[in-house]
Amino acid sequence: MKKETIFLALFLVVLGLSNTNAQINLGEKALGAVQKGVAGLTFTNEQAAQLSKEAVVKMDAEHVIAGATNPYAIRLKKIFGKHANTNGLNLNYKVYVLKEVNAFATADGSVRVYSGLMDVMDDNELLVVIGHEIGHVVNKDSRDAIKAAYQKEALIDGVASQSGKIAAITDSQLGKIGSAMIDSKHSRKQEAEADIFAYDFMKKNGYNVNAVESAFSILAKMSEGTQMDFLTKMMSSHPDAKERAENAKARAQKEGLYKPYIRKMPVAAKPKTTTKKKTTTKK
């Protein structure tokens, strides 16, 4: 009991010291493991956004990003550009040119969509997936995910025993945190709430809510194959995609909005060709 009392006293002292600093102070070596716990407790929304932004900058530099004239970038801007300000968030969005079926959104408002996802979904279905990811940001799930990633790196690499701020973490640690953000697995409750946000997002903005059922039906079919990364994250901690599709259908039916969804895949941009004029030579 005496040891527990001493530990509690140290904890309260460190907590008081930490709250005097607007930014995360990783503490001196003498604070040890106690300070690591406090760093997690004092992790604010602003700090989560700051660290997320730094991680995304690093990830952007390591991926091929569709330029402004790229058909993928043009399509994403056309369907999502009008929603760059959603629920008080200032969202920035880019396309990673990769065949993987993936998408993610981070605590700083960065939305990244893989071209592989855009290849298998029409515009409405794509908005469903993006809406789901934004739901995690709005519901603070993304903040919690990066906090957990930061705490893990602090413990593994000893960041918490150095005196400094979040910006002082190493490039390697930042890379691990970025990967953790993409691969983060949310709870069943968090995923269910993000699904609801996606449906509400579609309904609020006048889109066909039946695209929600269609999007999850596509993911269900793909999950039977070899598409792992994004699908594993989307399916691991909550009902399978078939059940989620049925949930969306049931809600649409209850609201009198259900009808079979007709997919409208965009026509791929064809490269311009030039026709050479035939020339004749006089004999």
pLDDT digits (tens, 9 = 90+) for 84-95: 998 889 999 999
Q: What pLDDT was estimated at residue 253?
A: 98
Q: Is the pLDDT of residue 149 over 60?
A: yes
Q: What pLDDT was estimated at residue 90?
A: 93
d(CA 181, CA 198): 20
Q: Are the beta carbons of 105 and 142 closer than 8 angstroms?
A: yes
pLDDT digits (tens, 9 = 90+) for 238-253: 557 889 999 999 999 9
Q: Is the pLDDT of residue 223 over 50?
A: yes
**pLDDT range class, residue 28, cuts 50, 70, 90:** very low
Q: Which one from 46, 54, 62, 133 is the annotated catalytic residue?
A: 133
Q: Is the pLDDT of residue 23 over 60?
A: no
Active-site residue 133, yes or no? Answer: yes
Q: What is the mean pLDDT of residues 18-23?
A: 37
d(CA 260, CA 266): 19
- Which of 5-9, 103-107, 132-136, 213-217 shows the lowest mean pLDDT across its residues? 5-9
Q: Is the pLDDT of residue 7 over 50?
A: no
Measured CA to CA in angstroms, residue 168 lies from 160, 163, 165 at distances of 11, 9, 6
Q: Which residue has the higher pLDDT, 265 or 148?
A: 265
Phi, psi of 93, deg, nearest 5: -135, 145
| Domain boundaries of the chain, sorted by first residue | 45-142+164-254
Q: How far apart are the first and last CA of the chain?
A: 111
Correct CATH for 45-142+164-254 of 3.30.2010.10, 1.20.1260.10, 3.90.1150.10, 3.40.50.300: 3.30.2010.10
Q: What pLDDT was estimated at residue 35?
A: 40
Q: Is the pLDDT of residue 224 over 90?
A: no
- Which of 178-187, 192-201, 221-230 shows the lowest mean pLDDT across its residues? 221-230
Single-letter residue type at 122? D
Single-letter residue type at 55? A
